[in-house]
Each structure stands twice: as structure tokens, then as C-alpha cells.
Amino acid sequence: MKITAIRAYQVDLPLKEGRYAWSNENAVERFDSTIVAVETDAGITGHGECCPLGPAYLPAYAAGVRAGLKELAPRVIGLDPTHLAVLNRRMDEAMRGHPYVKSAIDVACWDILGKAAGLPVYVLLGGAQQSDVKLYRAISQDTPAKMAARVKGYRAEGYTKFQLKVGGDADVDIARIRACRKALRDGDVLIADSNTGWTMHEAARVAQAVRDLDVYIEQPCRSYEECLTVRRRTALPFILDENIDGMGILLRAISDGAMDVINLKISKVGGLTRAREMRDLCISAGVAMTIEDTWGGDIVTAAIAHLARSTPAEFLFSATDFNSYVTRSIAKGAPQRKAGRMTAPDRPGLGVEPRPDVLGKAVVTVEA
């Protein structure tokens, strides 16, 4: 089988809540998502999606996905999409870094491999370790009272895990964490995600002030080294996200005992091929994972569901149903949340079918 064409489509994904805010006064009102179609000479087409969380979250931005695809796609034409290790090696030779550009191509090729084999992607990733997976809900940064009210509202919809967007004023953050923990029941999970927003002394203050609560601290500071100092002086369970962007830093972080949980975002590490390598290493090292992405719609949610479903329950801290945050559906057959959980489709490939009327005309076309 050979890749004959790569097309990219741009779709705006407006937020149901109207706005999503996190640390350092960052906020977005609509997500700019890129959907990639990889076509083959076998008549099979696969799809992937990449949706950066604005330009200020990671070294990635929405227009960069499309610009990168124009560079990379000509080097991928003619390759066999089912030889995923070869494909990834060739992409890394053709373009250094920029994992988020490669991610949607890699995911589309997993979709093709599944369709060619007649198997769902979760089977190819190791098989069904779970029938369905737990989800967390991200709570946009706001006043402590408004965030606690949102936690209660989403709890009534079935979620039991909540990730608060903190990383603002340390005193307000302490009040946010206390108000939201009060809104929860025993057994519910609360995560305070600073998204790199605190300096070390602020992180130390917050961790000390909430040490009596059942709460996880996530990515308190900007650098890995700053986070490690905070980790070493708090007894609270600890999550790293932004800093864990590849195998090298994951190996170092495991060796340092730098966290209990990582957030494994598919586009942050370059696609399902790399994410699976990191997932398997985490399982061997006893590190649990939230499996998710920077953002996205139905195709990103499906890719998350397949990787999460093939991960043992004790190592899957949670996953994310991004398609439930946005007002627009880009594909039929995507996972839908039920009682705070979702599952991956049993159909071949990712099991989703893009809606041509929503995708519109291709904004990038590269043909053999």
C-alpha cells in the first residue's frame, strides 16, 4: 500500500461554555483544529486531527500545523502507511522536532492500518484492557465560587474527576482549591493544574496551604527543574504535563521520581506511535497516566479513546472527551460520554467517519 495524497481541512470548534481560561491570563473562545486525510492506492483513507491549545500553551500553534504539513507531506507521499515505525523514522528525518505536525499523519496511518486489518485501533495498541474509561473534566479558571458551582454541575452529569485551572494569584488559587474540594464527595478526585503558572515560592505556598486536602498538584512551574524542587518538598500526589514531551525527559523523570502521574497528550509527543511507546514505559515504571491531547474534536477524542481503552485501568488515571466541550461535531461515530466514562468504537480503524459538509474544502493538498 502507498500514500497517494494528503489533504488538510481547517475547522473552528466553538466552546459550549463560550470561553476556556487557564494560567497567566491565557484564554481561548474557539479552537482552530486541523483534520488530516491520508489517501492510499488501496482506496483506504485514514484521518487524524491536531488542535493546539492556542499558541501560548506548548511550542505549537494552529497555523503551524498547516504550514508544517506543506513541508512534511511531500516527504510522506509514496510511503506505506501501515509500516508505522518506518513512516515515523522518515518523518523525523524529513523534519526535526515539530511533533504536533507529525501527529495527525501518524494517527491517520493507524486509522488506515486498522481499516486494512479489519481491527479497531485499540486492538492494534494491545487490546481491550477496559470496556470503557474514566474521564476528567477541566474547570476553566474563574472565581472560587464560580469554579465550585461548575464542579457541582459537571458532577451531576456523571464526572468524578476534576482538574482545576489554577496558576493565577496564589491566595485566590488556595481559595479555588478549598471551595472546589468542599463541593466534592469522598472518593472524587481533584487536581490543581497550574499549567506552569506559579513561581517556586508560590507553588510551595499553595502546596503547604492545601496539604490537609485530598488534592493532586499538576505542573506547578515552568521548567522541569523548578517542578522537581516543588515535588521534593510536598507530600501531595504530583503530576507532570507540559514538561513531559518525549521519551528522553520521561526517562529522566522516572529516574528522578519526579511525579506519580503524567499527562500523555498524543500531539505533544508526535502521535499514537510515540504515545504508545511512552504509555508502555510508564506501565513498566508504575507511573499512571491521563491520556488526552492539547484539544480537538471527534477524531482527537476517538484517538484518545483507543489508546486509553488499551491501557490497564490501574495505570489510566483518566482520559478526556474533548468533543463534549465544543459545539461542532466533525465526525460520525465518535465516542460519547456516559456517566463520566467513554469507550472506543469496535469498528475497524478509529471507527469514525468525518462529515464532509463540516470539513469543507481542503486548505492543504499534496498529491503524488
Told to judge if 182 belongs to the known catalytic residues of this protein, a careful annotator would answer no
**Of residues 102, 161, 265, 268, which has the active-site annotation?**
265
* Of residues 241 and 298, the one with the C-beta less far from Mg ion: 241
* Of residues 316 and 359, the one with the C-beta less far from Mg ion: 316
Give the range of 18-26, 141-149, 193-201, 209-217 binding Mg ion by CB under 5 A: 193-201
Tell me how far apart the alpha carbons of residues 108 and 60 are, in angstroms, rounded to a whole number: 19
3-state secondary structure of 88: helix
Could you say whether residue 321 binds Mg ion (CB under 5 A)? no
Told to judge if 265 belongs to the known catalytic residues of this protein, a careful annotator would answer yes
Could you say whether residue 193 binds Mg ion (CB under 5 A)? yes
* Of residues 111 and 293, the one with the C-beta less far from Mg ion: 293
State in angstroms the smallest separation of the CB of 21 from Mg ion: 14
Could you say whether residue 293 binds Mg ion (CB under 5 A)? no
H or E segment and range at residue 231: helix 224-232
State in angstroms the smallest separation of the CB of 253 from Mg ion: 15
- Count CB neighbours of 40 within 10 A: 20
State in angstroms the smallest separation of the CB of 195 from Mg ion: 6
The closest alpha carbon to 166, from 25, 317, 16, belongs to: 25
Would you state the torsion angle of the CA atoms of residues 234, 311, 286, 266, taken in this order, to the nearest 10 degrees?
Answer: -60
**Of residues 2, 165, 268, 361, which has the active-site annotation?**
165
* Of residues 106 and 293, the one with the C-beta less far from Mg ion: 293
State in angstroms the smallest separation of the CB of 80 from Mg ion: 35
- Beta-bridged to residue 5, according to DSSP, are 39, 367
Tell me how far apart the alpha carbons of residues 229 and 163 are, in angstroms, rounded to a whole number: 22
| Binding flags for Mg ion, 128-167, as an x/- string (CB under 5 A) | ----------------------------------------
- Beta-bridged to residue 79, according to DSSP, are none
Tell me how far apart the alpha carbons of residues 341 and 136 are, in angstroms, rounded to a whole number: 9
Considering only residues 78 through 117, tell me which ones interact with Mg ion, judged by CB under 5 A: none
b vs e for 14-24, b when ≥16 Cβ sit within 10 Å of the residue's Cβ? ebeeeebebbe
State in angstroms the smallest separation of the CB of 201 from Mg ion: 21
Give the range of 13-21, 138-146, 190-198, 222-230 binding Mg ion by CB under 5 A: 190-198
* Of residues 173 and 193, the one with the C-beta less far from Mg ion: 193
Give residue number: closest CB to Mg ion: 241
The closest alpha carbon to 275, from 262, 257, 256, 258, belongs to: 262
Give the range of 39-47, 138-146, 192-200, 273-281 binding Mg ion by CB under 5 A: 192-200
* Of residues 142 and 241, the one with the C-beta less far from Mg ion: 241
Bin 299: left if φ > 0, else alpha if -120 < ψ < 50, else beta.
Answer: alpha
- Using CB under 5 A as the binding criterion, the count of chain residues that bind Mg ion stands at 2
Per the structure block, which three cell numbers stand in for 250? 520521561
In the chain, DSSP assigns E strands to 3-14, 20-22, 26-28, 30-40, 45-50, 133-134, 137-139, 161-165, 189-193, 216-218, 238-240, 261-265, 288-292, 316-319, 331-332, 341-342, 353-354, 364-367
Residues 6+ apart with CB under 8 A from 297: 11, 13, 31, 33, 49, 51, 322, 323, 326, 328, 329, 330, 331, 334
State in angstroms the smallest separation of the CB of 108 from Mg ion: 26
* Of residues 102 and 165, the one with the C-beta less far from Mg ion: 165
| Binding flags for Mg ion, 1-30, as an x/- string (CB under 5 A) | ------------------------------
| Binding flags for Mg ion, 206-245, as an x/- string (CB under 5 A) | -----------------------------------x----
b vs e for 128-163, b when ≥16 Cβ sit within 10 Å of the residue's Cβ? ebbebbbbbbbbbbbebeebbbbbeebbeeebbbbb
State in angstroms the smallest separation of the CB of 25 from Mg ion: 17
Note the residues at the interface with Mg ion (CB under 5 A).
Answer: 193, 241
The residues annotated with a catalytic role in the active site are: 165, 265
